[in-house]
Amino acid sequence: MSNIITLNFSSDQKKLMVGLSWDPNEKSTGVLGGLTPHNLDLSCAVFNADLEVCDIITPLEPKREQYKGKIFHRGDSTSGGGDFEDEDVTVYLDSLQETERDIRAMAFIVSINDRVQFSEVKNASCAFMDGINLEPFLSIDLKGLEANSNNASSQQHFVVGYVTQGEDGSWTLKNIQKPIESLGQSAIEAAVKA
């Protein structure tokens, strides 16, 4: 599969949905044997016309009012195992230039907590879909993501995809799958420029 995918939507409405899903940990803990959930997160870094990160939307800071009708993060799931996507971000691509920041690109980042590797999480995946018919443009099995061994943080982050608008108005998706040290502006910019 090519590293760059042209996003051809099924309708005139260019609605992109990025979904993160995973199953709960099957390891039981405690006297009663309850499941210890994994906590994965999906974030979206927003780039302006100069292709600089101007904002970061996270499960704990979904900024719904600020991006109303443009970008919608459904919120935080702390356990996984939902019937559909456990966390998702929906982007109304045609509305992005109506913001003060004139958004031209977005990077999507998956994160995992508690020093757990993605290879330890059952059925962890991130999918980029047509938001109307839910047909995938790209589905990424997160099992293969390996953290940088120099990262002492209890949280690991990976840029999995970069969506950008061309001069002709078309949108493309670049499959990245690159570890970054933090959810900071410079780390995200360096990952997509590399």
Backbone angles phi, psi at 187, to 5 degrees: -65, -40
Q: So what's the pLDDT on residue 1?
A: 46
Q: Are 163 and 16 in contact (CB under 8 A)?
A: yes
Strands 15-21 and 87-92: antiparallel
Q: Give me the torsion for CA of 64, 68, 72, 77, rounded to 10°.
A: 20
Domain annotation covers residue 41: yes
Domain annotation covers residue 145: yes
Of 66, 71, 58, 61, nearest to 163 by C-alpha is 71
Structure tokens at 12: 């005139």
Report the predicted TM-score, pTM, of the whole model to 2 decimal places.
0.90
Domain annotation covers residue 39: yes
Can you give the residue range of the structural domain that contains 164?
Answer: 4-24+35-193
Q: So what's the pLDDT on residue 159?
A: 96
* Average pLDDT value for the chain: 87
Domain annotation covers residue 116: yes
Structural domains in the chain (count): 1
Strand partners, 45: 56, 107
Domain annotation covers residue 92: yes
Domain annotation covers residue 58: yes
Instruction: Tell me the pLDDT tens digit for each residue of 68-83.
Output: 999 999 988 877 777 7
CATH number of the domain that residue 79 is part of:
2.60.60.30
Domain annotation covers residue 29: no
Residue type, 126: C
User: Residue 4 CB: number of other CB atoms within 10 A?
Assistant: 10
Residues of the chain whose pLDDT is less than 70? Answer: 1-2, 26-36, 98-100, 114, 147-153
Domain annotation covers residue 74: yes
